Structure 1
Amino acid sequence: MAIDVAPGLVLQESELVFTYILASGPGGQNVNKVATAAQLRFDAARSPSLCDRTRERLIRLAGSRATREGVIVITARNFRTQQKNREDAIGRLSELIREAAHRQTFRVKTRPGRAARQRRLDGKAHRAGIKRGRRVSSDD
């Protein structure tokens, strides 16, 4: 099965390794007996789905979630079921990859044209005239 992360970027389910661990938090007695927290491991350094630029940026964005070998570890324990925690972990990984794959558009600096400068000056002169008209004349 494939996971559609971004346009033109698809991860294979075989690239994800899940382990289930005991979770803290709500769940009553169940919390001590059932391993509901999902731990997702994704080997970003050796993933054939990622280009070099995305791979490097992903590992950098992952920060402390990435090991020295380039494996990203995401632990999801927000929900009471394995399935929901698994989906949460996949969603968080997808969001991280989407952010790494996004190319930022750089702003091209421009300057105002002659007409725009003239409009600005005309507006300032108009405003100054209005304020000049409000002054109280001292013709005593």
Structure 2
Amino acid sequence: MDKEQLLAELHFKAVRSSGPGGQHANKTATKVELSFEVDASEGLSEEEKARIHKRLSNRITKEGMLKMQCEESRSQHTNRELVTESFLKEIQDALKKKKVRKKTKPTKASKIIRLKQKKQKSEIKANRKNPLK
């Protein structure tokens, strides 16, 4: 993954933010929408693109565009920085390889302890029974 190449391929669009804010919010475009074309990216290898498609399939459109948005701040510049940070974090998380689980066997001591506890439990239950029947 080439971080600088990815940042160069990002497209930003400023839109009017929703919610309260009065006059300022009604006339300024502070919400920032980020779009990134995964398939056309030169900063990712084919394997990385496939992994991103698999992990972020719910965020990628039919055209292969990854879209994100931010309207936390009243500043367009701050929102642009925030959405860029979250984009890079999402991509890095999607590219992480999951740790392979190695099967382990229970130790001999743990088997003995388990069987002892099982025996004790069955004796307790056996003692609850009515001895006359």
- Give the counterpart of 2:82 among 80, 88, 91: 88
Specify the code of the residue in structure 2 equivalent to 1:78: E
Moved more, 47-56 or 102-111: 47-56
- Give the counterpart of 1:74 among 60, 68, 75: 68
Q: Segments of 4+ in structure 1 off by > 6 A?
A: none
- Give the counterpart of 1:52 among 27, 46, 53: 46
Aligned residues: 127
The answer to whether the aligner puts 1:16 opposite 2:38 as a matched pair is no
Does the 8 Å CA contact 1:66/1:72 hold for their aligned counterparts? yes
- Give aligned-pair identity as a percent: 31
Aligned residue number for residue 4 of structure 1? none
Secondary structure in 2 aligned to 1:31?
A: helix
User: Which residues in structure 2 correspond to 1:1-140 (within 5 Å)?
Assistant: 10-12=3-5, 13-121=7-115
The CA RMSD over aligned residues, in Å, is 2.9
Q: CA deviation at 1:62?
A: 3.1
Write the distance in 2 (CA, Å) between the matches of 1:32 and 1:20.
Answer: 13
Write the distance in 1 (CA, Å) between the matches of 2:103 and 2:29.
Answer: 55
Distance 1:116 1:85, change over 3 A: same
Aligned residue number for residue 128 of structure 2? none
Does the 8 Å CA contact 1:22/1:34 hold for their aligned counterparts? yes
Secondary structure in 2 aligned to 1:63?
A: coil
Task: Give the alignment's TM-score, normalised by structure 2.
Answer: 0.74
Q: CA deviation at 1:90?
A: 0.9
Secondary structure in 2 aligned to 1:92?
A: helix
For residues 28-60 of structure 1, the C-alpha deviation after alignment (integer angstroms, 9 at most, x for no partner) is: 211111111111111111212223233123233
Write the distance in 1 (CA, Å) between the matches of 2:2 and 2:55.
Answer: 18
Distance 1:112 1:47, change over 3 A: same
